């Protein structure tokens, strides 16, 4: 099939609802994400088989890599978020509850910290976090980010603690001490009793331990099956030294770097600096820059894609991307030797307070042109 025959490309309209896309197991995410895990599950299952290599060059919360790992594939997630490795590394190790509790006790011990931090003056804490919890969060983050220990089992517990801390900071806030200060002001008596400086660490401990117990039955020891990298996507090198059967790409759209820049505090809490992500994520602030960079990524992917492999790109399907990013992607795919074999128009009904009332995504399935194989 020639690329120019795009009018003959078959469209498949897929409709998922909230229940079908409910995250579960290792894929549960108590924070905002652009694409739900059900998308990765669907494409990994349909376009790869057990033992295949699946690669996500613009990994977000590690959804694609975790999905591939759970379905018996090998996976590489390339950290452009820049929190992917933090999310994914925990999901591929098994930590004991005893080690996890030990780590939390050390990091949340009020006797080991003070509430006077230059960090609080430099960063503006999220407004939905109760002030005394701010202090406990920062102390725990500093403990985890500076922890140096040779015990491999403790290191696994550290990975899970860092992940669950980030889940709280990026989360939707389902506990009283993560609600807005305006609401807290209406509950002074309750807070005076339960949100004191002394009690905040205990509540944070209980919240994180509860989450840890949720994940415990799903933990898998698969460090070799899921590899985490931090490379520029346009210059990615394959660590597995084998052909890629599936590239599944959700590229950053034009606001991505701005979003990360405005959330430096969240990165700091997770052990990342505002400068680290700039090494891998270019400033994609206009269509020309985006088009050029995505063309380079497509070219780099072709170097490692197997002859029968699939290169799948997902974009939001709003009016703006239909007029700008989608045509640019198709043009760059043509220039880099791909032809379009299928499109999926994806609509997902979601709760308004989770993502949006309806998420619309379009998936482009590319293969290499036969004449250049």
CATH of the domain at 59: 3.40.50.150
Of residues 267 and 136, the one with the higher pLDDT is 136
192 and 49 assigned to the same domain: no
Q: What band does 309 get if pLDDT is binned at 50, 70 and 90?
A: very high
250 and 362 assigned to the same domain: yes
74 and 211 assigned to the same domain: no
Final residue of a domain: which of 173, 199, 218? 218
304 and 174 assigned to the same domain: no
E strand residue ranges, the chain? 10-16, 53-59, 74-79, 226-229, 244-249, 305-316, 338-349, 358-368
136 and 51 assigned to the same domain: no
323 and 186 assigned to the same domain: no
CA atoms of 227 and 244, how far apart (whole Å):
14
- DSSP one-letter code for 147: -
Give the model confidence (pLDDT) of 174-187 as tens digits: 443 444 444 444 44
Q: What is the mean pLDDT of the chain?
A: 78
Final residue of a domain: which of 170, 192, 218? 218
What does residue 312 show for φ and ψ, rounded to 5 degrees? -110, 130
- Please check whether residue 344 is in contact with residue 278, taking contact to mean a CB–CB distance below 8 angstroms: no
Q: Answer yes or no: is pLDDT of 154 > 50.
A: yes
114 and 20 assigned to the same domain: no
Q: Answer yes or no: is pLDDT of 25 > 80.
A: yes
Give the domain range for residue 178: 97-218
Q: Answer yes or no: is pLDDT of 310 > 80.
A: yes
**Is residue 283 in a domain?**
yes
- As for how many domains the chain has, the answer is 2
**Is residue 243 in a domain?**
yes
Reported residue count of the chain is: 373
pLDDT of residue 2: 41
**Is residue 104 in a domain?**
yes
pLDDT of residue 243: 97
**What angle do helix axes 97-107 and 200-215 make, rounded to 10 degrees?**
160
* Residue 305 tokens, joined: 């894609």
**Is residue 1 in a domain?**
no
Q: Backbone dihedral region of 271: left (phi > 0), alpha (psi from -120 to 50 degrees) or beta?
A: left
Of residues 43 and 130, the one with the higher pLDDT is 43
Least confident of 104-108, 120-124, 263-267: 120-124
151 and 24 assigned to the same domain: no
Final residue of a domain: which of 218, 236, 266? 218
Least confident of 16-30, 34-48, 61-75, 305-319: 16-30
274 and 170 assigned to the same domain: no
What does residue 243 show for φ and ψ, rounded to 5 degrees? -65, 145
Mean pLDDT for the stretch of residues 10-32: 74
249: nearest Cα among 373, 98, 366: 366
70 and 86 assigned to the same domain: yes
241 and 181 assigned to the same domain: no
Q: Answer yes or no: is pLDDT of 125 > 90.
A: no
282 and 349 assigned to the same domain: yes
Mean pLDDT for the stretch of residues 73-81: 87
Q: For residue 351, count CB atoms less than 10 angstroms from its CB and return exposed for 0-12, middle for 13-18, buried for 19 or more.
A: exposed
């Amino acid at each position: 099939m020639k690329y120019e025959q795009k009018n003959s490309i078959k469209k498949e309209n897929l409709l998922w609802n909230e229940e079908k896309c409910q995250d579960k197991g290792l894929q549960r995410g108590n924070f905002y994400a652009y694409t739900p895990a059900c998308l990765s599950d669907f494409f990994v299952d349909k376009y790869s088989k057990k033992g295949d290599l699946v690669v996500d060059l613009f990994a977000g919360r590690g959804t694609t890599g975790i999905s591939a790992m759970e379905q018996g594939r090998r996976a590489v997630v390339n950290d452009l978020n820049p929190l992917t490795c933090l999310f994914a590394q925990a999901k591929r190790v098994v930590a004991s509850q005893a080690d996890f509790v030990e780590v939390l006790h050390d990091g949340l011990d009020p006797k080991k910290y003070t509430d006077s931090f230059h960090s609080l003056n430099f960063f503006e804490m999220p407004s939905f976090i109760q002030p005394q919890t701010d202090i406990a969060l920062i102390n725990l983050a500093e403990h985890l980010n500076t922890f140096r220990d040779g015990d491999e089992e403790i290191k696994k517990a550290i990975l899970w603690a860092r992940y669950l801390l980030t889940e709280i900071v990026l989360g939707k806030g389902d506990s009283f001490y993560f609600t807005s200060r305006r609401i807290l002001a209406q509950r002074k008596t309750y807070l005076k009793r339960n949100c004191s400086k002394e009690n905040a660490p205990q509540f944070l401990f209980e919240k994180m331990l509860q989450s840890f117990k949720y994940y415990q039955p799903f933990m898998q020891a698969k460090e070799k099956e899921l590899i985490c990298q931090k490379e520029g996507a346009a210059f990615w090198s394959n660590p597995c030294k084998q052909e890629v059967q599936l590239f599944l790409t959700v590229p950053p759209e034009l606001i991505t770097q701005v979003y990360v820049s405005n959330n430096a505090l969240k990165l700091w809490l997770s052990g990342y600096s505002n400068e680290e992500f700039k090494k891998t994520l270019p400033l994609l602030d206009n269509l020309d820059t985006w088009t050029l960079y995505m063309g380079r990524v497509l070219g780099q992917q072709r170097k490692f894609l197997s002859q029968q492999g699939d290169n799948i790109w997902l974009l939001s399907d709003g009016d703006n991307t239909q007029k700008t990013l989608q045509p640019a992607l198709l043009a760059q795919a043509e220039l880099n030797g791909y032809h379009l074999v299928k499109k999926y128009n994806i609509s997902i009904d979601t709760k308004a307070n989770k993502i949006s009332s309806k998420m619309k995504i379009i998936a482009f399935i590319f293969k290499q042109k036969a004449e250049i194989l």
